[in-house]
Amino acid sequence: MLTRIITAVVALCLLVPILLFAPTWAVAGLWALLGAVAIYEFFSCVGFKKEVWLWVVSILSLVISIGCNILTGTLLHQFYQEDWLQYVLYLPSIMNVVTVLAFMLAAVVRYKKLPVDRLIMLFGLVHYAKYGFSALAGLALDKPMFIGLETPGASVPLWVALCIPWVADTMAYFTGYFLGKHKLCPEISPKKTVEGAIGGVLGTGIAAVVVYGFVSGWEIWDLLPIFIGAMLLAVVSIYGDLFASVVKRHFGVKDYGKLFPGHGGIMDRFDSTIPVAILLQLLLVFPYFENLI
């Protein structure tokens, strides 16, 4: 327990200042680095970490996706008439095609070494990590005006994506500890209970309403979508945790990595955050919800 606490404190002391005070390129680099490690962890989990060329292509696709996301998000308004910027927008799509072709090539050339079922699952996991960390990078550009800071890491949507899983997990833990009687998915995660999941979802919705009410007011027509949206994100957070556990159990691994002593790897820490970031980015497409946060 002491190791977990020390690791968490050190990680927060490193992560929070970077997100709040670092320039755009540093925030983008952080998410690209974490995403690259997550992709490598998936390769290791599946048993393909020796396929260096394949995970290099996958990581390069992630880095280019985040880089283009940040570049167009920060410079598009300055160089919207420049022809070269239009071609930048095509790079993520090009890398998607390259990644598909790379996995197809691996399936054909390495068919005796790489079981095709694992290769297909790995392809999905790579894109899951890619979309998740790209979403986190994208959320950093949404509203860079938080607690008086004009930096990308101070984005309100980004901190919503980071805090929702923590609140949901905390609420679920205490609710399950005091009231939990019925197992949620005993074969996947023996400690999770139905009561804990319900408490986590409702508790997250209530916490979101309270925070929003004190910051922006108690207008019922604003609080209702905040309550519903927070609960949806909490549900996705729980499913993200369960999904990560399913993958680990399928391949017989305890943790995705050992980067954080007592906590595991990047995917052990961001398993709930990734689906929340993806769904939140989708919710922000709707102008009404975007204006709320």
Overall domain count for the chain = 1
Q: Is the pLDDT of residue 77 over 70?
A: no
**What type of residue is 100?**
V
Least confident of 64-68, 79-83, 101-105, 115-119: 79-83
What's residue 146's pLDDT? 44
pLDDT digits (tens, 9 = 90+) for 158-206: 889 999 999 999 999 999 989 989 999 988 988 899 999 999 999 999 9
Task: Identify whether the C-beta of residue 132 lies closer than 8 Å to the C-beta of residue 267.
Answer: no
What's residue 217's pLDDT? 83
pLDDT digits (tens, 9 = 90+) for 30-53: 999 999 999 999 999 999 999 999
What is the pLDDT averaged over residues 116-138? 94
Closest CA to 193 of 184, 202, 185: 184
Q: Which of 133-137, 230-234, 286-290 has the highest mean pLDDT?
A: 230-234
CA distance 62 to 209: 34
Q: Is the pLDDT of residue 262 over 80?
A: no
Q: Rg of the chain's alpha carbons, rounded to an integer?
A: 20
Burial 222-249 (b: 16+ CB within 10 A, else e): bbebbbebbbbbbbbbbebbbbbbebbe
What is the pLDDT averaged over residues 1-5? 68
Range of the domain at 248: 2-292
Tokens of 211: 């925070």
Q: Is the pLDDT of residue 95 over 50?
A: yes
pLDDT bin (cut points 50, 70, 90) of residue 242 is very high
pLDDT bin (cut points 50, 70, 90) of residue 147 is very low
DSSP 96-157: HHHHHHHHHHHHHHTTTTS-HHHHHHHHHHHHHHHHHHHHHHHHTTT---BTTB-SGGG-HH
**What mean pLDDT, rounded, does the chain reach?**
86
What's residue 171's pLDDT? 94
CA distance 81 to 83: 6
- C-alpha distances (whole Å) from 49 to each of 40, 46, 93, 247 are 7, 8, 25, 16
Q: Is the pLDDT of residue 282 over 70?
A: yes
pLDDT bin (cut points 50, 70, 90) of residue 67 is confident
pLDDT bin (cut points 50, 70, 90) of residue 289 is confident
pTM over 0.85: yes
